Structure 1
Amino acid sequence: MRFLHLADLHIGKRVNGFSMIEDQKFVFEQVYNVIENEKIDGIIMAGDIYDKPVPSAEAVKLFDEMLTRLVSINLPIFVISGNHDSAERIGFGSDILSAAKVYMSRVYNGNLQKIELEDDYGKINVYLLPFIKPATVKNIYKEAEIKDYDDALEYVLSQEKIDKTKRNVIVSHQFVTGALRSESEEVSVGGLDNVSVENYEAFDYVALGHIHRAQQMGRESARYAGTLLKYSFSEEKHNKSMTIVDLKEKGNIEIKEIPVKPLHDLKTIKGKFSKITSEEFYKELKKEDYYRAVLTDEDDILNAIGKLKSIYPNLMSMEYDNTRTRSYSVVDNVETGETKSPLDYFEEFFEKQNGRKMSEKQRNYLLEILGEAREESHETN
């Protein structure tokens, strides 16, 4: 059986204020083409269907259009909720939808949903495990000692009698220890959300969601599909793709990735303002892509963003990388106020903020101001 493994669609997401809806529609067309051209037998969506627990109307509309189109192909569709989703909203109407072979994960209640499929090699069991938290598991299993996410996942899976003679697939949305993260993902302080890949040992294929970079975890058959689009500039070097999984006889799995082409790529342009606004620089670029501009000019450029947007209409952000921004504002605790004059402090502050010393003219002007301040203080006293 050939599955298309997708995850982290984040429908309705906005990146630096830009709506990704049109970009998502564009890549979804590629999903439909892959399903047809690659003769897919089943579709997996491993969580974070939406970007928010209460998605926008246009996000719900787009997912509705997607499901309607996929149902018309008459393939089983497996969908779980992720940490960005509302488990209740994803699970709404799950019993009704299952009649159309759309299997939406229900709110976890102590039982894993299991869907049985069959192909030329026999039975395949597909298990749906929505994103779970330790508190959720503790509320269901009062007797269990659950300290963290790893304990929760281990306990949940230990309650299931998995027939290891059959081919078993699990769809899960958790952070497996060792996965390479991106800035656009939610991160728990101290890695408290880590789970071990060994917890999934009973499953022939582990269809993971949550991490935005496509990657295998521990073994080739435990994989994050990654996002279809880049959702932060930390992802600009990622090669986005769709994952196809061929589940043949027990122990025989083949995996391949199909590249995804974005409507607008996410890129960084860097250099002096005069350089990145020159036609020679941008003539080979796709100016409609999403850009982050990093200016290396030492002095601020008046209305730089407005001028850059006249060339790069989808400019998402602008920042400076120069002597001033690279300097660190470190407080010197060694010398006390008794050994430093106010002028010393002002000069030190100026240098750390601007990456250069005061000019003689600036220093004399400051001395004049400090002198006037001292005179006014004496007069007051």
Structure 2
Amino acid sequence: MKLIHLSDLHIGKRVNEFSMIEDQKYILNQILEIIRKEEPDAVLIAGDIYDKSVPSAEAVEVFDDFLVSLAEAELPVFLISGNHDSAERLSFGGRILEKSRIHVSPVYHGETAPVTLRDSWGPVRVFMLPFVKPSQVRAFFPDREIETYTDAVAAAVESMDVDEKERNVLITHQFVTGSVRCESEELSVGGTDNVDAGVFEAFDYVALGHLHGPQSAGKETVRYCGSPLKYSFSEVRHQKSVTVLELREKGQVTVKTRPLTPRRDLEEIRGNYMEVTDRSFYETLDTDRYFHIILTDEEDIPDAVGKLRSIYPNLMRLSYDNRRTRGDRAPGELRPAGQKKSPLDLFSDLYRMQNNRELSPRQAEFMKTLIEEIWEEG
């Protein structure tokens, strides 16, 4: 059985105030072409369909066109909500859509019934677990201690009717411990959303969503397919792709990828103003791409963005790297590249600077709870 694994479409997203709608239409059409060539038995979409819980009418129309194309191809589609989606809105009409073999995960209610597909080796049971938080799962297991995301996902998985003698696929949207994040993904306070990969042992393949970089989590068959487009400059070096998996007899799973080529790629360039505006510098570049330009001039260039856009019309971001910007942080604040402090750590640093003392354990716990509530509302 051949399955296509997608996730993190983020339809309607804006990157540095640039609408990505046309880019998303382009890449979804490319995905449809890959699906036509691969001729899969089903398509799995692991959450974050939209970028906002209340998507724009234009975003809904784009995804509607994509679903219609899949339905016309008579392909079963399995679709769950991610942390950016509204599970209630996404699951609206789900029972009607099932008549077209489009299976949408309902709002989590303590049970997860599988949908069964069949091939020459027998049944493949597909389980759909939307993005869940401990508070959501805890309500359905009052006699069980559920404090962490691992506790929550473990409880949800253990309540499933998983026959380990058969082939089982899980679609879910969580952060699995040890995976690599990007700037465009939402971070939780202190990494509290980590899920241990051990909770997925019963499944032959786990189709993960949430992280934008394609990667395996612990083993090849627990996998993030990644987002189809680059949504931040931290993703510049990503090769976006579609994941194609094949399940044969029990225990035999192969995973491959099909590369995706965007309408406009993201690119970073650096140099002083005279260098990046010199024809010999940019004549070999695709200046229609989305650019982050890092200027090394010691003085700010007046109206630099306006001037640079005469050459690089899709300039998304401009920054400076010089003595002044490198001196903006005190030596004690320097951290290894890519390492970020959590919101709680940042608040603790601010409190220490203003009050010349540390947060008390009670204050720290209060702030942690408050920040998590604000993060969840966002």
- If the TM-score is normalised by the length of the shorter chain, which range does it land in? 0.7 to 0.9
Match of 2:141 in 1: 141
Q: Secondary structure in 2 aligned to 1:9?
A: coil
Q: Secondary structure in 1 aligned to 2:114?
A: strand
Match of 1:295 in 2: 295
> Counterparts in 2 of 1:177-326, with a 5 A limit?
177-326=177-326
The one-letter code matched in structure 1 to 2:84 is H
Q: Distance in 2 between matches of 1:255 and 1:149?
A: 27
The one-letter code matched in structure 2 to 1:85 is D
TM-score by length of 1: 0.86
Match of 2:176 in 1: 176
On the 8 A contact 1:167/1:204 being kept in 2, the answer is yes
Match of 2:50 in 1: 50
Match of 1:365 in 2: none
Q: Secondary structure in 2 aligned to 1:113?
A: coil
The one-letter code matched in structure 1 to 2:102 is V
The one-letter code matched in structure 1 to 2:13 is K
On the 8 A contact 1:276/1:282 being kept in 2, the answer is yes
Match of 2:127 in 1: 127
- Structure 2 vs 1, CA of residues 324 and 67 (structure 1 numbering), >3 Å: closer, same or farther? same
Shift, 1:194, TM fit = 0.2
Q: Distance in 1 between matches of 2:14 and 2:204?
A: 35
> Counterparts in 2 of 1:37-76, with a 5 A limit?
37-76=37-76
Shift, 1:300, TM fit = 1.3
Unaligned runs of 5+ in 2: 333-378
Q: Distance in 1 between matches of 2:25 and 2:191?
A: 34
Unaligned runs of 5+ in 1: 333-381
Matched, 1:23 2:26: no
TM-score by length of 2: 0.86
The one-letter code matched in structure 1 to 2:145 is E
Q: Secondary structure in 2 aligned to 1:221?
A: strand
On the 8 A contact 1:45/1:78 being kept in 2, the answer is yes
Which whole-Å deviations, capped at 9, do the CAs of 1:78-110 have from their partners, x for residues lacking one? 000000000001111111111110000100001
On the 8 A contact 2:113/2:161 being kept in 1, the answer is no
Shift, 1:331, TM fit = 10
Q: Distance in 1 between matches of 2:119 and 2:283?
A: 53
182-191 or 323-332, which deviates more: 323-332
- Where in structure 1 do 4 or more consecutive aligned residues deviate above 6 Å? none
Shift, 1:38, TM fit = 1.2
The CA RMSD over aligned residues, in Å, is 1.2
Q: Distance in 1 between matches of 2:174 and 2:280?
A: 46
The one-letter code matched in structure 1 to 2:232 is S
Shift, 1:121, TM fit = 0.6
Which whole-Å deviations, capped at 9, do the CAs of 1:46-84 have from their partners, x for residues lacking one? 000000000001000000101011100001000000000
On the 8 A contact 1:113/1:129 being kept in 2, the answer is no
Shift, 1:144, TM fit = 1.5
Q: Distance in 2 between matches of 1:36 and 1:158?
A: 36
Q: Secondary structure in 1 aligned to 2:319?
A: strand
**Bigger Rg, which one:** 1
On the 8 A contact 1:46/1:172 being kept in 2, the answer is yes
Q: Secondary structure in 2 aligned to 1:140?
A: coil
Shift, 1:330, TM fit = 4.2
Which whole-Å deviations, capped at 9, do the CAs of 1:327-370 have from their partners, x for residues lacking one? 145499xxxxxxxxxxxxxxxxxxxxxxxxxxxxxxxxxxxxxx
- Structure 2 vs 1, CA of residues 329 and 99 (structure 1 numbering), >3 Å: closer, same or farther? closer
Q: Distance in 2 between matches of 1:30 and 1:161?
A: 36
The one-letter code matched in structure 1 to 2:284 is E
The one-letter code matched in structure 2 to 1:199 is V
Match of 2:375 in 1: none
Q: Secondary structure in 1 aligned to 2:162?
A: coil
Match of 1:89 in 2: 89
Q: Distance in 2 between matches of 1:3 and 1:168?
A: 13
Q: Distance in 1 between matches of 2:13 and 2:20?
A: 6
How many equivalent residue pairs? 332
Aligned residues with identical type, % of pairs: 50
